[in-house]
Amino acid sequence: MADTVETHGNKADLAGLIKKSAEGTRSPEDTVLVWPHLVYIELISILFATAVLLFLSIVSPAPLEELAGADTTPNPTKAPWYFLGLQELLVFFDPWLAGMVLPSMIIVGLIIIPYVDPNPNGKGYYTFSERKFSMLGFSFGLALWYILIVIGVWFRGLDWSWYWPWSDWHVHMSVTAVKLVDMEILIQDLLGMSPDPVVTFGRYAMTSANIVTWVLFLGYFAVGFTIPFLFLRSFFNKLGLIRYNLVMFFFLSMCGVPLKMFLRLALNIKYVLVTPWFKI
């Protein structure tokens, strides 16, 4: 009876089977029937997951605070935990970057991954040595994402100040008067530059220090794009021009996030680049 039943799935499967056997990756004696061998693993994992969820539901019920009211703002106001990494970025970036542009870049960056990774190795098995750059790059972004979430969930209390688990979370942290300063002001004072505008585009009066910050900002990308091109030519050759530029743009932007965080924490820099329309 099995011979008479032919579904589209069956045919495709047979074709795939033949192709794969030809490649030597799959032979009939290596295979087992999905029913019961795989189906029961699925059943057990489902039952296990259900048991865990039931347990959690009983020991840790969903919270319900007071009725929503626009006149009482809780302190701190926290987003759901999975967005707390982005909310933590608000300490270092303006909302248009932390809330919109960076998340959009994460999504687009993830989407293009399969199209910018020409490395044929490491398909279908865990390996680090055969694809070091992509594994490191991805893990770096992942670590950044999770660390920021952990900070947002467990280390941010009243006024979004830093609280240790052993701190008293009901008392406001004494606000140490950290004076944040824009990088262009820092440069202006450091190099004794004139605060008068050099060039003016409508609302935008560029001082010479402001031009220096543009040079530094674009220079970060320019140098970042150039170094692998000069010293790791095989990396560039493997990727080709378009893939290389995409990879480097997203990679450098990703590295720029902790870099800006460092500048803010170490040098109290508020913005590295200031224009009348946007600040970075």
Contacts to another protein from residues 139-158, by CB under 8 A: 142
Distances (CA, A) of 186 to 57, 179, 190, 217, 232: 53, 12, 6, 15, 35
For another protein, the closer of residues 80 and 165 by Cβ is: 80
| Closest distance of CB 82 from another protein, Å | 5
Q: Measuring CA to CA, which residue among 156, 183, 152, 181 is closest to residue 169?
A: 156
| Closest distance of CB 111 from another protein, Å | 5
- Determine which residue in the list 18, 21, 31, 215 makes contact with another protein, applying CB under 8 A: 31
For another protein, the closer of residues 112 and 206 by Cβ is: 112
Coil, strand, or helix at residue 157? coil
Asked whether position 70 contacts another protein by CB under 8 A, the answer is: yes
CA-CA distance, 269 to 66, in Å (whole number)? Answer: 39
Run of H or E residues at 135: helix 132-154
Coil, strand, or helix at residue 162? strand
Asked whether position 196 contacts another protein by CB under 8 A, the answer is: no
Instruction: Look up tokens 């913005």; give the residue.
Output: 271
CA-CA distance, 167 to 156, in Å (whole number)? Answer: 11
| Closest distance of CB 99 from another protein, Å | 3
Asked whether position 192 contacts another protein by CB under 8 A, the answer is: no
- The answer to whether 244 and 117 are in contact (CB under 8 A) is no
Residues with Cβ within 8 Å of 204's Cβ and at least 6 positions away in sequence, in order, are 275, 276
CA-CA distance, 25 to 188, in Å (whole number)? Answer: 65
Asked whether position 129 contacts another protein by CB under 8 A, the answer is: no
For another protein, the closer of residues 120 and 192 by Cβ is: 120
Asked whether position 83 contacts another protein by CB under 8 A, the answer is: yes
Asked whether position 217 contacts another protein by CB under 8 A, the answer is: no
CA-CA distance, 50 to 33, in Å (whole number)? Answer: 26
| Closest distance of CB 191 from another protein, Å | 28
- Determine which residue in the list 18, 41, 191, 232 makes contact with another protein, applying CB under 8 A: 41
Asked whether position 32 contacts another protein by CB under 8 A, the answer is: yes
Asked whether position 63 contacts another protein by CB under 8 A, the answer is: yes
Number of residues that bind another protein (CB under 8 A): 85
Between helix 208-231 and helix 233-267 the angle, nearest 10°, is: 140
Asked whether position 136 contacts another protein by CB under 8 A, the answer is: no
Asked whether position 11 contacts another protein by CB under 8 A, the answer is: no
- Determine which residue in the list 22, 24, 77, 175 makes contact with another protein, applying CB under 8 A: 77
5 burial via Cβ count (<10 Å: 0-12, 13-18, 19+): exposed
For another protein, the closer of residues 201 and 278 by Cβ is: 278
Asked whether position 241 contacts another protein by CB under 8 A, the answer is: no
For another protein, the closer of residues 79 and 211 by Cβ is: 79
- Determine which residue in the list 91, 105, 133, 135 makes contact with another protein, applying CB under 8 A: 135
State how beta strands 204-207 and 197-201 pair: antiparallel
- Site residues for another protein, window 95-114 (CB under 8 A)? 95-96, 98-101, 107, 110-111, 113-114
